Structure 1
Amino acid sequence: MNTITVASSKPLDPPDEAAPLEAAATPRTLGPDLLRALAILLVMLVHLPVEATPLPLAGIRPYGWIGVDIFFVLSGYLIGTQLMAEAARRRAVDFKAFYLRRAFRILPAFLLVLAVYTFFPSLRDAPTMQPAWRFLTFTVNFGLDPRLGSAFTEAWSLSVEEHFYLVLPVLVVLLKRRATAGLVALLVATIVIVGIGLRFALWQSNVGPIAEMQIYREAFAVYLRDVYYPTYNRLDGLTFGVVLAAIRLFKPLLWERYMPPHIALAIGGTLVMAALVIFSVRGPLAEANLPLVFQPLAGAVVGFPLFSAGVAFILGALLDLQPRIGRWHLPAISGVATLSYSLYLTHKGIYHLDQMVFGKDNLQGLSGFVIYLATCFIVAATLWFLVERNFLLLRDHLMPRARRADEA
């Protein structure tokens, strides 16, 4: 991103103005909520069977998997802002407080849902599941072969997030005194280029030979296991989110000068559309009738960074537009965003439960879609009120100084 490279080669200065630090403490803003709500609705849509997908949404459904990449950008921005703002204020990062906040935010609902999947196999969204210890250690996304257990596989992205939580605070501490614009740009370029190289090598060596033999379903499983799920291949969104946070915190006047909202939206929209075009070019995979998440070489290699960079530009524009759009009263958007984590954890299992209760034949067309949405939101709201909300209140009671910037 060119805006950071034009700064001096001296260590990054404290923020140009106090406003970004104050914004980092704001509990919710509409821009991130819009993207968060869009992300979870896309993820819910992609896991909905075709027969229960209304016709107007049929063309969007295959692309629903990109919702996870939107979540990664949001998480990179929000957690990056939290940690870097703290380091700028205190010249240090409180590791204990950070990890406790994340534990209160992530673990209670996750552990409850994992317990349900573990002890009540009939409620699983698939017959087999990876060992529970892999979920508990957040290593499930390494070597995750859906042929050997595909229940609760959505937890793969939580593993990526947990690895990000482990690394970023250490990186912020290491760079807080010696980070120059050039060093940061080099680090970001290295992460993106290494990711591109790894995906290229893994696709060519592990996926390509199987796809060339037209054993597409096996190639799909290998693609998910070796290319799509591992943390080292999915750092693009988190990285661009952190870069956005760094620029807005430390060089906000530079961002304001070169990236007014209309420019940022135009660039972001162009990058997102370019990524979607690349994702749409299926080549020989088109005949396999497999989910669009199974990307040929071009999409797997360059599609992820293109899309993530585009979302980061759009997020930056929405944050700048907050004084205007913040006046909009959109309780539905805020509600969906608030429930997004509980929805993410439960939506696949709820559709399976719907099949058990209503019967698969009654979950088709518009009625099936309405049943799916209603039951997902009922269960997610219950989980939020009984578990998420209470543990967040407990966290705020135990850690009154650490309440904000924790909505990722």
Structure 2
Amino acid sequence: MTILATTNNAHTGNFSSLSHTNVVATGTRMVGPDILRSLAILLVMLVHLPLNATPSLLVTVREYGWLGVDIFFVLSGYLIGTQLFREMTRTGAVDFKSFYLRRAFRIFPAFFVVLGLYALVPVLRDNPTMQPLWKFATFTVNLGFDPREGNAFSQAWTLAVEEQFYLVLPLLVLLLYKRIGTGWLLALAGLLTVTGIVLRYTIWDAQVGILIAEGQFRPAFATYLRDVYYPTYTRLDGLLFGVVLAAARFFKPALCRRYLPPTVTIPSGLIFVIAALLCFVDRGPLAGQGIFPVFQAQLGAVAGFPLISIGIALLFCAMLDLEHVLSRWPVPGAALIATLSYSLYLTHKSAFHVMRQVVGEENLQGGVGFLAYLAASIAVAAVLWLCVEQPFLRLRDRLRWL
């Protein structure tokens, strides 16, 4: 976002580190996390793909492609949570200096290279206008992010959510370690989940719903994104349940084996995912519709995020338990896409935009366009990975004080 047997070089989890945290002690990759990671980035790319280059079989999937973000959040919460739990168990403390420096080496180089290109080479921007550079540089771009005021490099909002979350999580782990038990942890997770639901409901009722009632659908869409979809305080569900899963598997492995075997987590995970998708069947402003059932749209905005996060966490738990089975049938290309996931995340929108400018959107229709966009994105991501990500990772690993 592996965790069960990572080397000492394990990285913190999010879009950036998910492609590098699945190396087990034997040096082999874990198939389950790779499959989820590659699925997540492909879904994110799909939702940004021009509709005229989307194969007919993927048009419906494209409407839900943004859920790839929630997959990443769960993976990230699990990975970073396990890393911190392992360190606390081993040393009784959290090395904040090492933690944040390692994150800086992992996150900053590729991010700031791409941000610099967006700033200095406007032709690369996927949208003519973008948010102020300082908001990207401080990882606060998701707060007060109104897409009407600039939408270039908009995918950076997810990285901002995770960076803000991980500023707080190590301190929480340090403060709560050995001070609360399983029951209190679940109660805290439940309280945070309910708080998120109430907060989203309140924002919707006070702002989005009023605009919808007045027939101002475009402003309602922008307000929904700005005040419900993007802010960290309304999007903690995936990260939260990822951390809860990490705590359960790390501190209570016997209970997990007993009460959360794949025969339980697979069907229950599917039930939660299906319930979430039903909530999002009519996503109101996100679907760009002029008329829609208001209650249905509100239900998705308010309750859909925790439902999908719980479902993903349960399915991920099953995949970890079934790694010995999944490893026999690795999905072709999953390891490559997973490895490039952070670079793909940073560059795919710009790659799509440049392809349209160079080749002409009229020449990028249907399957040909789909393959061309995919190939261009992978090529650009590979360059960024080879020229920026890898050198800084090697440098970081040479600095033994990290």
TM-score, normalisation: structure 1:
0.89
Question: Closer, same or farther in 2 for the Cα pair 1:285/1:398, shift >3 Å?
Answer: closer
Question: Closer, same or farther in 2 for the Cα pair 1:206/1:62, shift >3 Å?
Answer: same
Aligned residue type for 1:29: M
Contact 2:146/2:226 (<8 A) preserved: yes
2:88 matched to which residue of 1? 87
Residue 341 (str. 1) matches residue 342 (str. 2): yes
Shift of 1:101: 1.3
Contact 1:20/1:249 (<8 A) preserved: no
Contact 1:20/1:248 (<8 A) preserved: no
1:7 matched to which residue of 2? none
Aligned residue type for 1:180: G
2:16 matched to which residue of 1? none
Once residues 227 and 374 of structure 1 are traced to their aligned partners in structure 2, the CA distance between those partners, rounded to angstroms, is 34
Contact 1:124/1:151 (<8 A) preserved: yes
Once residues 103 and 30 of structure 1 are traced to their aligned partners in structure 2, the CA distance between those partners, rounded to angstroms, is 27
Q: Secondary structure of the equivalent of 1:277?
A: helix
Residue-pair matches, total: 380
* More moved, 132-141 vs 207-216: 207-216
1:171 matched to which residue of 2? 172
Once residues 357 and 114 of structure 2 are traced to their aligned partners in structure 1, the CA distance between those partners, rounded to angstroms, is 18
1:203 matched to which residue of 2? 204
Q: Secondary structure of the equivalent of 2:151?
A: coil
Q: Secondary structure of the equivalent of 1:141?
A: coil
Q: Secondary structure of the equivalent of 1:93?
A: coil
Give the 5 Å matches for 1:42-191: 42-191=43-192
Contact 2:3/2:79 (<8 A) preserved: no
Once residues 20 and 372 of structure 1 are traced to their aligned partners in structure 2, the CA distance between those partners, rounded to angstroms, is 33
Shift of 1:328: 3.2
Once residues 291 and 310 of structure 2 are traced to their aligned partners in structure 1, the CA distance between those partners, rounded to angstroms, is 26
Aligned residue type for 1:223: Y
Superposed CA offset, 1:11-53 (max 9, x none): xxxxxxxx97635866242111111000000000000111110
Question: Closer, same or farther in 2 for the Cα pair 1:329/1:290, shift >3 Å?
Answer: farther
2:14 matched to which residue of 1? none
Contact 2:217/2:290 (<8 A) preserved: no
Contact 2:221/2:285 (<8 A) preserved: no
Aligned residue type for 2:5: E
* More moved, 274-283 vs 244-253: 274-283
Shift of 1:285: 8.2
Aligned residue type for 2:328: R
Q: Secondary structure of the equivalent of 1:388?
A: helix
Superposed CA offset, 1:150-185 (max 9, x none): 101110001001011101100010011212122212
Give the 5 Å matches for 1:317-332: 317-330=318-331, 332=333
1:255 matched to which residue of 2? 256
1:16 matched to which residue of 2? none
Question: Unaligned stretches of 5+ in structure 1?
Answer: 1-18, 403-408
Shift of 1:281: 3.3
Once residues 149 and 388 of structure 1 are traced to their aligned partners in structure 2, the CA distance between those partners, rounded to angstroms, is 27
2:13 matched to which residue of 1? none
Aligned residue type for 2:120: F
1:274 matched to which residue of 2? 275
1:228 matched to which residue of 2? 229
Once residues 392 and 282 of structure 1 are traced to their aligned partners in structure 2, the CA distance between those partners, rounded to angstroms, is 40
Contact 1:278/1:299 (<8 A) preserved: yes
Question: Closer, same or farther in 2 for the Cα pair 1:286/1:33, shift >3 Å?
Answer: closer
Contact 1:73/1:237 (<8 A) preserved: yes
Question: Closer, same or farther in 2 for the Cα pair 1:67/1:249, shift >3 Å?
Answer: same
Once residues 112 and 287 of structure 1 are traced to their aligned partners in structure 2, the CA distance between those partners, rounded to angstroms, is 33
Once residues 63 and 117 of structure 1 are traced to their aligned partners in structure 2, the CA distance between those partners, rounded to angstroms, is 27
1:15 matched to which residue of 2? none
Shift of 1:186: 2.0
CA RMSD in angstroms comes to 2.0
Flag as ranges the 4+ runs of structure 1 deviating above 6 A. 283-287
Aligned residue type for 2:347: T
* More moved, 73-82 vs 50-59: 50-59
Q: Secondary structure of the equivalent of 2:333?
A: helix
Contact 1:21/1:85 (<8 A) preserved: no
* More moved, 368-377 vs 212-221: 212-221
Aligned residue type for 2:354: L
Question: Closer, same or farther in 2 for the Cα pair 1:125/1:284, shift >3 Å?
Answer: closer
Superposed CA offset, 1:215-272 (max 9, x none): 1111100100000000000000000000000000000000000111121111111100
Question: Closer, same or farther in 2 for the Cα pair 1:324/1:399, shift >3 Å?
Answer: farther
Contact 2:218/2:285 (<8 A) preserved: no
2:15 matched to which residue of 1? none
Residue 22 (str. 1) matches residue 23 (str. 2): no
Shift of 1:312: 0.2
Question: Unaligned stretches of 5+ in structure 2?
Answer: 11-21, 24-28
Contact 1:141/1:156 (<8 A) preserved: yes
Give the 5 Å matches for 1:278-317: 278-282=279-283, 288=289, 296-317=297-318
TM-score, normalisation: structure 2:
0.91
